[in-house]
Amino acid sequence: MHPLLVHFPIGLLLVALLFELIDWKRKSTGLRDATKILTWVGAGSAVFAVIFGLLLASSEEASGDSLEIHRWAGIATMTLAILATLSLRSGNRSLYRSLLMVTVFGVSLAGHYGAMLTHGDDYLTSVLPSSEEKPAEGAGEPDFVLTNNGALNPQQVQDLNVEVRTILAHNCYSCHSETKTKGKLRLDSKEAIMKGGEDGVIVIPNHPDKSEMIRRISLPKGHKEAMPTKGKRLTEREVNVLKFWIEKGALWPDGKEKSIYRVAELAPRTPVVPAPTGDLVKPVDLFVNAYFQKNKLGWKPAVNDRIYIRRVYLDIIGLIPTPEQVEAFVADARPDKRELLAKELLSRNDDYAQHWMSFWNDALRNDYTGTGYITGGRFDITKWLYTSLETNKPYNWFVKELISPTKESEGFIKGIKWRGTINSSQRTEMQAAQNVSQVFLGLNLKCASCHDSFISDWKLADSYAFANIFADTLLEINRCDKPTGKIAGTKMLFPELGEISVDVSTEKRLRQLADFLVQPKDGRLYRTVVNRVWAQLLGRGIVEPVDMMDNLPWSGDLLDWLASDFVANGYDMKKLIFTIVTSKTYQLPSSSVKEASDIMANDYKFTGMIRRRLTAEQFSDAISSAFNPMYPDSAVVYKRLPEGFQSRLPFARAAFVQNDPFLTSLGRPNRETVSTSRTSQANLLQALELTNGSKFTENLKAGSKKWRAKYPTSDSLVTELYRKALGRDPLPKELASAVKILGPSPSEESIQDLVWAIALVPEFQLIY
């Protein structure tokens, strides 16, 4: 029904354009009537599609560049379709034709990215004859070495079994697993494979030529019995591996199977620090140097003082330095001035806490308004969180107080009590299980909260057993929202950390869980947090994505050393930050990526910080510091903080402001779900808000009056604005261009234009 109700009616706009082009030449009244009907139907369908598309994206928690382009291309198409309809109604035929042509282009663009979301990025190329993978020479043969008698040793049996299960997982589980059992055939266990399906046995050990599995996967593409029925066919090598496996007896190792997914070590590890070399003496730099040598990369000169001071100010306290602070730092001749600056910034407890509030608000889904606050189904932890950051509470206690909470910190565990009917994976106990595992262990349980995960070894029963720790009564397992009649036990995700008592109160179970998780032997907890902080400061985690800590780190030694040093230093977050920002690694020049996905690439090579766009809060505070307060009513905002709090700034920090369209457009996430990273890529919504948004426009208007009164001449105004915004005097060419914008006597409108232009230059918007 989806293509019939959504795609087809919007596609009528293309037919309308075709009719209009024909009418352009032939002047047909009948065609004009048809064009009018088609345009109205297409525009109405576009509105319908946008509304339900937004609801669908929200309910499925979709994300990524393709979704964003599809979303905004769809909204733009809807807007253009409405404008085209209005222009047709007004009788402006030439405008109508122009708008209709652009609308059809929008339909095509939105449709293309919509297809990428539902069918994959290669939905066009995958059906072309040229898309068939051409194996490299020798790639058709399995690479297992036989012993003299033609047998496999135990390790080879294990490796072969892992490869076989990997092939089946990537190609067959979508139709033949516990979640979906097409033809009553499952391929996700030894017993199921050997049992076969409704058509009988599919594997006959030692006889690939008689095995139905091999026959099906070897059939030509397009054959009605060929498998897989969807997606890419198995490569020649994959077919040969399965043949080889059956030929050797469809071997399955005894005992616990090795996972087909990478599973990171749980225990901590303290690697030996490489020997100092040249001017490299700090452990972080020595581990990075070893990585550079291995990957044939060289050290680049450190950034200059102006770049460093702005970078470290924004990273530690979220503010841009004043012109006076920049000049004093540049003039400072002390060799250790960068370390001294980092110490001084970290000692500014209030500024530090106000900045890092945004990081933890995102992760702990703490907000000031939104779902649950009106109905009493949600509680904020703002005062507790601010106090914890301001006092630099040790991270182990920080975690303990969130998991085994006080009254002030219980909002994280309690989650959101949704109104109305919800699916079983959204009940508060399961929210707690998902959020604790994601935030503190870098582990995604969301898939396994509905069914056995397709991307890891976590099972549905594991999620429910962990959720039961947070539950007052044991939960019945629901698979894909259908009750199974089974009750899960109560168990840690990593049983080696400890065993939860069953017959005790929820409060005592949470206390046990907190104690078990923060043990020094839980290396995963501390690797996860140091990886998050590294990603926050350098734009990319040592492991990426930061919520998938089983992924391979680009330097396992660096990650393990940072985690063990963090524990050895008393779980001190500020010491961790100091260790990173005073390293030569942090001071390397930044680099950019063409696409956000490049950061996640398997062949990613670390060369230094990834250039980042200011966050919504940083950008807002920078405008407040350099030009005019975005949120001047600090008394209202700071009532959320402990009694007696006094800000030293003449404006409210954006971290404490309720979300609004301005902050949303600049990337502040919806905190109804955990958000542990923000995209740094510019987008259409941001561009629209900064060019036409009322919040930014009103701020420019209000500020221009003050600046005009204070700086009556163009030269002085431009110089001061550059110093406040960019920390430097304007270059002669920049001064001349700015004065040209302002004219001999600056007007409020021209000042607004100049500030807008400076706010949009990369030097202001980016952290270099």
- Phi first, then psi: give them for residue 396, nearest 5 degrees: -65, -40
Count the neighbouring beta carbons within 10 Å of the beta carbon of residue 254: 7
Does the pLDDT value for residue 120 go beyond 50?
Answer: no
31 and 169 assigned to the same domain:
no
Crossing angle of the two packed helices 382-390 and 349-363, in degrees rounded to 10: 130
Under 8 Å between Cβ of 157 and 251: yes
Say if 475 falls within a structural domain: no
C-alpha 124 chain-centroid distance: 26
Q: Which amino acid is at 99?
A: L
636 and 758 assigned to the same domain:
yes
Instruction: Give the pLDDT confidence of 488-511 residue by residue, as tens digits.
Output: 999 999 999 999 998 999 999 999
Under 8 Å between Cβ of 456 and 448: yes
Q: What is the mean pLDDT of residues 709-731?
A: 95
Query: Distance between CA atoms of 184 and 175, rounded to whole angstroms?
Result: 10
The confidence band for 706, taking pLDDT boundaries of 50, 70 and 90, is: very high
Say if 163 falls within a structural domain: yes
Closest CA to 221 of 132, 116, 118, 125: 132
- pLDDT higher at 103 or 664: 664
- pLDDT higher at 543 or 102: 543
460, burial (CB in 10 Å: exposed 0-12, middle 13-18, buried 19+) = buried
Q: What is the mean pLDDT of residues 284-288?
A: 98
Under 8 Å between Cβ of 724 and 760: no
Say if 667 falls within a structural domain: yes
Q: Six-digit token pair at 51?
A: 């509304």
Which of 212, 247, 282 terminates a domain? The answer is: 247
Query: Distance between CA atoms of 399 and 513, rounded to whole angstroms?
Result: 11
| Number of domains observed in the structure of the chain | 3
Q: What is the mean pLDDT of residues 633-639?
A: 82
Query: Distance between CA atoms of 207 and 195, rounded to whole angstroms?
Result: 16
Dmax of the chain from CA atoms? 94
Does the pLDDT value for residue 656 go beyond 50?
Answer: yes
Does the pLDDT value for residue 431 go beyond 90?
Answer: yes
Say if 442 falls within a structural domain: no
The confidence band for 144, taking pLDDT boundaries of 50, 70 and 90, is: low
Contact residues for 45 (Cβ-Cβ < 8 A; gap 6+): 6, 9, 10, 12
Q: Which amino acid is at 476?
A: E
- Phi first, then psi: give them for residue 138, nearest 5 degrees: 85, 0
Say if 493 falls within a structural domain: no
639 and 754 assigned to the same domain:
yes
Contact residues for 756 (Cβ-Cβ < 8 A; gap 6+): 690, 700
Percentage of the chain lying above the pLDDT 90 cut: 60
Q: What is the mean pLDDT of residues 740-748?
A: 90
Under 8 Å between Cβ of 52 and 1: no
Which of 232, 247, 262 terminates a domain? The answer is: 247
- Predicted local confidence at residue 44, as pLDDT: 84
Under 8 Å between Cβ of 562 and 632: no
Which of 210, 225, 247 terminates a domain? The answer is: 247
Q: What is the mean pLDDT of residues 9-26?
A: 77
Q: Give me the residues paired with residue 277 across strands.
A: 280
Count the neighbouring beta carbons within 10 Å of the beta carbon of residue 262: 10
92 and 201 assigned to the same domain:
no
- pLDDT higher at 734 or 49: 734
47 and 116 assigned to the same domain:
yes
Under 8 Å between Cβ of 719 and 735: yes
Under 8 Å between Cβ of 530 and 576: yes
Q: Give me the residues paired with residue 197 across strands.
A: 200
- Predicted local confidence at residue 132, as pLDDT: 44
Q: Where are the alpha helices (DSSP H) in 442-522?
A: 460-467, 506-517
Does the pLDDT value for residue 487 go beyond 50?
Answer: yes
Q: What is the mean pLDDT of residues 247-255?
A: 79
210 and 167 assigned to the same domain:
yes
- Phi first, then psi: give them for residue 485, nearest 5 degrees: 80, 0
Under 8 Å between Cβ of 519 and 497: yes
The pTM score is 0.76
640 and 755 assigned to the same domain:
yes
Does the pLDDT value for residue 245 go beyond 80?
Answer: yes
- Predicted local confidence at residue 60, as pLDDT: 43
Does the pLDDT value for residue 627 go beyond 80?
Answer: yes
Instruction: Give the pLDDT confidence of 182-218 residue by residue, as tens digits.
Output: 888 988 888 889 999 998 999 999 999 999 999 999 9
Query: Distance between CA atoms of 727 and 715, rounded to whole angstroms?
Result: 16
Contact residues for 281 (Cβ-Cβ < 8 A; gap 6+): none
Instruction: Give the pLDDT confidence of 541-600 residue by residue, as tens digits.
Output: 999 999 999 999 999 999 999 999 999 999 999 999 999 999 999 999 999 887 777 888
Percentage of the chain lying above the pLDDT 70 cut: 90
- pLDDT higher at 74 or 52: 74
- Predicted local confidence at residue 65, as pLDDT: 54
Q: What is the mean pLDDT of residues 299-309?
A: 97
- Predicted local confidence at residue 230, as pLDDT: 67
- Phi first, then psi: give them for residue 327, nearest 5 degrees: -65, -40
Query: Distance between CA atoms of 234 and 682, rounded to whole angstroms?
Result: 39
Say if 288 falls within a structural domain: no
Under 8 Å between Cβ of 60 and 66: no
C-alpha separations of 508 from 316, 398, 490, 669 in Å: 37, 18, 13, 34
Secondary element (H or E) of residue 479: strand 476-479
745 and 624 assigned to the same domain:
yes
- Predicted local confidence at residue 461, as pLDDT: 94
650 and 755 assigned to the same domain:
yes
- Predicted local confidence at residue 427, as pLDDT: 94
Instruction: Give the pLDDT confidence of 515-529 residue by residue, as tens digits.
Output: 999 999 999 999 999
Query: Distance between CA atoms of 35 and 33, rounded to whole angstroms?
Result: 5
Q: Which amino acid is at 261?
A: Y
Under 8 Å between Cβ of 705 and 299: no
Say if 392 falls within a structural domain: no
Q: Which residue has the tokens 């095509």?
A: 108
Does the pLDDT value for residue 178 go beyond 80?
Answer: no
- Note down the domain range covering 116: 2-124
702 and 620 assigned to the same domain:
yes
667 and 729 assigned to the same domain:
yes
- Predicted local confidence at residue 56, as pLDDT: 63
Q: What is the 3-state secondary structure (H, E, C) of 27-72?
A: CCHHHHHHHHHHHHHHHHHHHHHHHHHHHHHHHHCCCCHHHHHHHH
- pLDDT higher at 404 or 684: 404
Say if 95 falls within a structural domain: yes
102 and 41 assigned to the same domain:
yes
Does the pLDDT value for residue 539 go beyond 70?
Answer: yes
